[in-house]
Amino acid sequence: MNESTPQSRNRHGSAPDEQNKLLVERLEDDEQSESIVDRASNTRHGCIGAIVVGMVLSFLCLISGTYMLVVKKKRLGAPISLSTPGQEALSLAINLVLALCTDGMMFVHSASLRWELYREHRLEFNTNIRLFTSSKKFGPNKWYINVIALVCLILSYAASSVLFVTLVNDEELGHSIMINATALVALGLGLVGQALIGIWCLVASHKHILTWSSNPLNSALVLLQSGDLTPRPGRCMQPVHQRHAPAQPAYPTKAQGSIFRANRTVRYILGIIWAMALLAIAWPIALVLFLKVDADKAKSWDVVEEAKCFEFGFNWSPVTYGCHINEVLLALSPDLNNGNKYNTDYSYGTQLILCLLFVCLVQGGQTIVLHCLELLVNLSRDEAIWRQAYNESKKASGTQRSTNPFYAAVSSWENIILFIAKAVMHWIIGQSLLTVFEWYDPTEYLYESVSLIPYYHYGIYFYMIYSRLFIYAILAVFLAAFGTYLALKQPQGCQPAALGHLQTLVDLIDDWKTNEDGRMWWGDKTGSEDSVVRHAGTCCGEHELGPIHMEKYAGGQVAVVSLRTYITDSSV
């Protein structure tokens, strides 16, 4: 049982007996009705389902990819009957499924991290940047496991980008599309790595995760009931930005502080996402300049007229020759890159592995940006949940401690944008870096004195299409602007901002009881219109609360700690 401080005894002792009695009755009703903590067991079941799906998909990829590597040794892949638009649509669908599957599996990792930080007394915000925040003791959330999880995530998206290879001049198949067995195995490895980390979290921390809910109100209530957090009196109008300031009455403000001001990590996140946006802009510009310079040089050569000009255009399809050329070739073998197709430094299999590693390098930066953006989205989501409790201009819907995570995700426009971005940004990179497997005619020979040197049969190229990369750059700038908006947005209204900061929520919520629909509201609870210093708090009945008086101080006593602590204090 928690020991009460002298200040708390004096505070409760000075309160009217009738108010104390009503408060005890309210808290007893809460415990009797078991409207305490949502353990969100259905969310856990959903996470288990996501891990099972991830394991099944990973095994399918590993088995089919390994089979192709063993049986289809000539091309290390299998042809597939698909049109170019069909291949593009299928790639987008794969990225959508991949984003959904990885989000579901790594939700376990996030929940595990939250409650391991709690056990280490380091949990401050409900949302943390998962792969860049580590536990000091717990295996699945240690820094090196985070690195492995990040590598698996990057590998999954990189493999999906080079899963389909365009065959050019193939002796048997001509121009067609092939499934890349190397990428298929890599995709399986990425998925199985994330699934195993999720299973590790489930097994090792099933007793330590106090709730599977990501709702910040529910997390705050868990810490309140455990006695790790207690309300600090007189802070009913102090937002998260004043969490280190002493308690004092304050006038309500019409706008609250931003995420940028509340969380120091955000400034680094903005730097990362804007740096990525600038690189995305520089990439297609560099290709255009290269093609322009190349065309200018060709004017002094004895070549056909079409090679001596360059005209900028936005063709989606690759144009490999003429004035409207929109792609630059990058070979994975240096000799091929220098135009020497008679020899090669690397074997075909080595080129496929280098192809995957190169795309990992490109997709790695994009994956980190999207993961950082996820922190801003989740902080904004946490604040949106809290702000449902009050609205000055219209009837508030009321906030809920218990929410279905799937419904919470699809009802949040920020989450929808982030989910679409995860699929589309990785997909557009894959479409901008078209992987081409070029086959050389083995009947052609280069004559050198008396010897005959056959052409090398295989070469892996990237067609870097600047028109598609400009689309990627536009989307990257949009994402950076979206992240900046979330970071600098100031919530409107006099309701103090919490941004998922758990101690602030415990300070602001003085009545955790909800109505039959599981909702509660926030507003003025002073009762007397003549009081100069007023009190704002929560209630399960909207009609029991009044509007906030903008011209008067708010900072009245917050009486709720927990039922056990309150009874102890009142009995002294």
Query: Residue 47 corresponds to which tokens in the numbers above?
Result: 């996470």
- Provide the 8-state DSSP code for 460: E
Amino acid at 338: N
Query: Residue 554 corresponds to which tokens in the numbers above?
Result: 């708010």
Percent of the chain at pLDDT above 90? 54
Q: Which of 488, 491, 487 is nearest to 392 (CA)?
A: 491
Q: CA-CA distance, 160 to 152, in Å (whole number)?
A: 12
Q: CA-CA distance, 407 to 559, in Å (whole number)?
A: 33
List pLDDT tens digits, range 8-52: 333 333 443 444 444 445 545 554 444 478 888 888 999 999 999
CB 288: neighbour CB atoms within 10 A? 17
CB 234 within 8 A of CB 558: yes
Of how many residues is the chain composed? Answer: 572
Which of residues 81 and 286 earns the better pLDDT score?
Answer: 286
Residue 239: phi and psi, rounded to 5, are -80, 180
Four-point Cα dihedral 305, 309, 314, 320, nearest 10: 50
37-41, 101-105, 284-288, 363-367: lowest mean pLDDT where? 37-41
Average pLDDT, stretch 63-78? 87
CB 87 within 8 A of CB 180: no
CB 479 within 8 A of CB 421: yes
Element (H, E) at 397: none
CB 560: neighbour CB atoms within 10 A? 21
Using pLDDT thresholds of 50, 70 and 90, give the confidence band for residue 454.
very low
| pLDDT of residue 284 exceeding 50 | yes
CB 293 within 8 A of CB 492: no
Using pLDDT thresholds of 50, 70 and 90, give the confidence band for residue 317.
confident
Residues 6+ apart with CB under 8 A from 505: 216, 217, 220, 386, 498
Using pLDDT thresholds of 50, 70 and 90, give the confidence band for residue 558.
very low
Dihedral over Cα of 296, 297, 301, 306: its sign: negative
Residues 6+ apart with CB under 8 A from 558: 231, 232, 233, 234, 235, 236, 507, 510, 535, 537
| pLDDT of residue 238 exceeding 90 | yes
- Provide the 8-state DSSP code for 171: T
CB 158 within 8 A of CB 358: no
Which of residues 544 and 271 earns the better pLDDT score?
Answer: 271
Q: CA angle, corner 270, sides to 264 and 274, nearest 5?
A: 160
Report the phi/psi class of residue 55: left, alpha or beta, with left for phi > 0 and alpha for psi in -120 to 50. Answer: alpha
CB 262 within 8 A of CB 497: yes
Query: Residue 300 corresponds to which tokens in the numbers above?
Result: 């002094």
The rounded Cα 136 to chain-centroid distance in angstroms is 23
Ranked by mean pLDDT, the top range of 76-90, 206-220, 333-347, 370-384 is 370-384
Query: Residue 18 corresponds to which tokens in the numbers above?
Result: 């009738």
The β-bridge partners of 433 are 464
For residue 74, with 0-12 CB atoms within 10 Å meaning exposed, 13-18 middle and 19 or more buried, which class applies?
exposed
CB 189 within 8 A of CB 157: no
The rounded Cα 539 to chain-centroid distance in angstroms is 33
3-class SS of residue 176: strand
CB 179: neighbour CB atoms within 10 A? 20
Residue 311: phi and psi, rounded to 5, are -125, 125
3-class SS of residue 331: strand
363-372, 398-407, 439-448, 537-546: lowest mean pLDDT where? 439-448
CB 502: neighbour CB atoms within 10 A? 25
CB 520 within 8 A of CB 539: yes
Taking only Cα atoms into account, the Rg of the chain, rounded to an integer number of angstroms, comes to 30
Q: CA-CA distance, 346 to 184, in Å (whole number)?
A: 21
CB 158 within 8 A of CB 355: no
CB 225 within 8 A of CB 502: no
